[in-house]
Structures are given as C-alpha cells and as structure tokens.
Amino acid sequence: MGKRDDRYTLEGMIEMDEGYFTVKSSEFEKNKALRGRGAAGKRNVAIMAESTPLGDVNTNRNSKHCRYFKAKVLESHSKDQINNTIVNSIHEKSIVFTDKSASYVDIADYVELHITEKSDKKTTEETLKWVHITISNAKRNLLGNYHKIKGKYLQLYLDEFCYKLNRRYFGEKLFDRLVVANITGL
C-alpha cells in the first residue's frame, strides 16, 4: 500500500504538520527517560493533506475540500528530515501551509510558496484543519484496531490508513483494486 501511494506526489495546496504517535517502547527506550519530543514510546510523523479552498456563492462561506493524504514517520525533528519528506511527497509547484516550526525554515526552497502561521486555535481549526483531523483519526484508528504498535511497524500501519483514506470513495471495489495492484506490481 505504501509503495503504491509513494508513486504519487501531492500537488496544489497542501497542509502539513507533525503529530506524535505512541508506540510500544523497547527496554532501551524506557531507560532513556526523556520527556516531550524525545520521550520513549513516541514517534514523530509528518502528515500532509492536499486541500482545496471552496467558496459557496449562495451562503458566502468558505470551506476546504480534501483529496489525498500522506503520512511519513520521521527519524528526528530536523529540517533535513522535513526537507527530504517534502522533496519525495510534494510536487514542486505546490503551495504549502504550516505552522512556524523551526524545522520548516527551508520548505520554500522546494515548493512554489510556503505560508506559515503562528500555531493557535484558529490555525488548528482553519488553516491546518484537515491535517489535525487526519492525525486524530489515525491515532483513534490505530489505537482502536491494534492497541499497541511496535515503532518499526508504524509506517506500515500509516501506509494502510492513508491507502484506505485516499480511496475512501471506491466502496466495495477497494479490495479488488488492492489485489490487482499487488499482482501487477504497479
């Protein structure tokens, strides 16, 4: 599923943020006793959502329609990891919306336009709405289905989640399409 989705890049207007996913800790990680971003049992994941703003002429209200998603587990919270993820996941003619994280300083070098906003409630509910909905849905899905996940398998679980999410309108054809993709290797 991950290989299939890696063939495509997100394009247009992209929301991007990071989420921290809880994974089953090894004994080594438990003994490190770090807090926050480096805490044992937490993995940093970059979540990207291709969203398009829509305006309703009758009500004069703006909303966003979301198409495709990507999720990549990051080894660290460094700008090099973020930049590598951007290059491999987002088309260079895209517009990327993020918060003002220090890891996002070079994104403008890899895309058409990079827009940052201070992280607050308004940003969470409007600018980065679909990313935060995706993070919470992914966490709930993984916790509800798998309870405890080993860190080395987190990317595989996220690949499955994004594959299903990106094909949410396929209905009962989803399984058949996955079988054909695996047989043909495409």
- Angle formed by the axes of helices 154-166 and 129-146, to 10°? 120
> What is the pTM (predicted TM-score) of this model?
0.80
The helix (H) or strand (E) run that includes residue 114 is: strand 113-117
Residues 6+ away with beta carbon under 8 Å from 3:
none
pLDDT for 94-109, tens place per residue? 999 999 888 898 899 9
Q: Which amino acid is at 34?
A: L
Q: Which domains, from first to last, does the chain contain?
A: 2-184 (3.30.420.10)
User: Coil, helix or strand for 80?
Assistant: helix
Give CA angle at 158 (49, 170), nearest 5°: 70
How much is the pLDDT for 28? 44
Span 26-51, pLDDT tens digits: 644 554 555 555 556 788 999 999 98
